[in-house]
Chains A and B, each alone.
Chain A
């Protein structure tokens, strides 16, 4: 078991005052709160910080921890409590604590015990607790959201083992995702969360849908946007061009005299569902990488014919 340096976690010295510890804890709890932070490790950091504070804020636990830290730490960074170690601070005997100790580390458990378990011990038969709801996120490719798909979802549920102890268990479901899911939409799967205790009903699984970025398309509400390059002559003369849509392509008429930035709306080619979206095509005039001598001569002719045109008129230059 690795030793946990609670002082390092809170970024305070061994001699830090209770006020300093509280201050540092508050700051870090705000920083790493999983509802606030975007960092992937925020959840773990927040738990570590809470665990460290749980020990260091309490003079009794802190004294015990200081002793352990002094005598239990091995030179290789691992940790072994001294033989016959027994916590005196009452935590090991299910003493009252505000924090949910079941979420703390093995290191904490070894030192102070597991604390009280909900629905544990002899009370199990009398307690009916509805299973916990689980919230999960699911990233879909645009094509999957558009067509619907079967997706495997794994998540952790809390369940009671034979002795009534709460244990985390991995659960995997194959979910049939209907066509037309939107970013941020929630799906509810009834009864697929954590099982209930004492015959109470199971919690639900809530899945929030996210869309993975697509190399060509972007999604805005129900609409799908795409930037489509056209040649200067297609823009000037008008043309019929092939345009990708999600899962295929369609032929689109570019009107005569189309500049970059012109938007064409393809009705009903956006995301399917109750409110069917459109696809918005944004034209972008693009030149070939190199022109032939002949083409350059034609451009020169064009420049002479169109010499009154000032594309920068709006910039007053």
Chain B
């Protein structure tokens, strides 16, 4: 079988990435629900809508990637929860600023006709 034969064509049905329940996000993140609940209480993760009961929570893909990042940072750098919260906030801010800087640089280049 040639390499080309194995290339599947897939269509996107979930352009917004879909939603996950608490159980699903824990399964994907390979962590306990208690950990996710703590992250929510620290404001590190937010469910799509505020519900009183954690079993009604739903999360988007951004929350999943954030959870996975939090788990890696916690495991690799031995961060505690307040440390995690600060790090993730700062990393988000850095990413936003990097995007803004590259956008502004791009506009500057276009303005000066380079």
Contact = CB atoms under 8 A, between A and B. Distances in A.
Interface of A: 26, 29-30, 33-36, 38, 46, 50, 130, 133, 135, 150, 152, 172-178, 181, 183, 185-190, 192, 203, 206, 208, 213-216, 218-220, 225-227, 284
A50 B17 CA distance: 32
16 contacts: A29-B76, A33-B76, A35-B73, A36-B91, A133-B64, A150-B9, A152-B7, A173-B9, A174-B8, A176-B9, A177-B12, A178-B12, A186-B16, A206-B17, A214-B106, A227-B111
A220 B103 contact: yes
Contacts of B34: none
Q: Is the interface of B mostly helix, strand, loop or mixed?
A: helix
A215 B7 contact: no
A30 B10 contact: no
A175 B18 contact: no
Given A29-B77, A33-B77, A227-B111, A130 B27 contact: yes
B97 to A, nearest CB: 12
Contact of A192 (B10, B87, B107): B10
B32 interface: no
B40 interface: no
A33 B111 contact: no
B14 A188 contact: yes
B41 interface: no
A34 B68 CA distance: 12
B62 interface: yes
B84 to A, nearest CB: 11
Contact of A284 (B7, B102, B103, B111): B111
Given A178-B15, A213-B102, A218-B107, 20 more contacts: A33-B72, A33-B76, A35-B72, A50-B76, A130-B27, A133-B64, A172-B7, A173-B10, A185-B17, A186-B17, A186-B62, A188-B18, A190-B14, A203-B28, A206-B64, A218-B103, A218-B106, A225-B107, A227-B110, A227-B111
A227 B73 CA distance: 42
B6 interface: yes
B99 interface: yes
Given A130-B27, A175-B10, A189-B12, A30 B77 contact: yes
The residue among A50, A135, A214, A218 with the most chain B CB atoms within 10 A of its own CB is A218
A175 B102 CA distance: 27
A187 B15 contact: yes
Nearest to A181: B15
Nearest to B110: A227
A33 B73 contact: yes
Contact of A186 (B65, B69, B91, B99): B65
A153 to B, nearest CB: 9
A284 B106 CA distance: 16
B11 interface: yes
A176 B9 CA distance: 7
Interface string B87-114: 1000100000011001100110011000
A284 B107 CA distance: 12
A215 B22 CA distance: 43
A135 B99 contact: no
Given A35-B69, A227-B110, A172 B77 contact: no
B110 A187 contact: no
Contacts of B17: 185-188, 206
B61 interface: yes
Contacts of A226: 110
A32 to B, nearest CB: 10
A46 B7 CA distance: 32
Interface string B50-78: 00000000000110110011001100110
Contact of B65 (A30, A206, A284): A206
The 8 A-B residue pairs with the shortest CB-CB distance, nearest first, are: A186-B17, A186-B61, A174-B9, A188-B14, A188-B17, A176-B11, A35-B69, A227-B110
B24 to A, nearest CB: 10
